[in-house]
Amino acid sequence: QGRFAAAQPRLRAVASEFERLGMMAAATEASLEVAEVLVTTSAFEEAEEICKSAIQRFQTANLSYTAPALTALALMHEAVRSRTATKKLVSHVREYLRRVPYEPQLLFAYPA
């Protein structure tokens, strides 16, 4: 609905609660929702911090799909850092991270 200011605190609270509960995949997914809002509103500095945090979560978790997840997050981080990230890219990365645990051989491809 375009109510970005109202969505951010709620999404941040959800991400924090998931992280507190040790649900790192869910915390990352929720934080990428925040990043999507931030990219949409051109708040790239904050979105960059979310990317860094997500990368750290995956490095710490050391899951079977950590390498492909890190590839997707690194590409997103670079796009955010260079201010070329779009809502579509963040959404694509979030969807990829949702699928890769169930499809560990799934390769990440930059969206067209």
pLDDT tens figures, 95-108? 999 999 899 889 99
pLDDT tens figures, 37-90? 999 999 999 999 999 999 998 888 877 788 889 999 999 999 999 999 999 999
Contacts of 19 (CB under 8 A, 6+ apart): 27
Q: In degrees, to the nearest 5, what angle opens at C-alpha 110 toward C-alphas 107 and 112? A: 125
- Tokens describing residue 46: 């904050």
C-alpha to C-alpha distance for 106 and 96, rounded to whole angstroms: 8
CA nearest neighbour of 93 among 51, 61, 43: 51
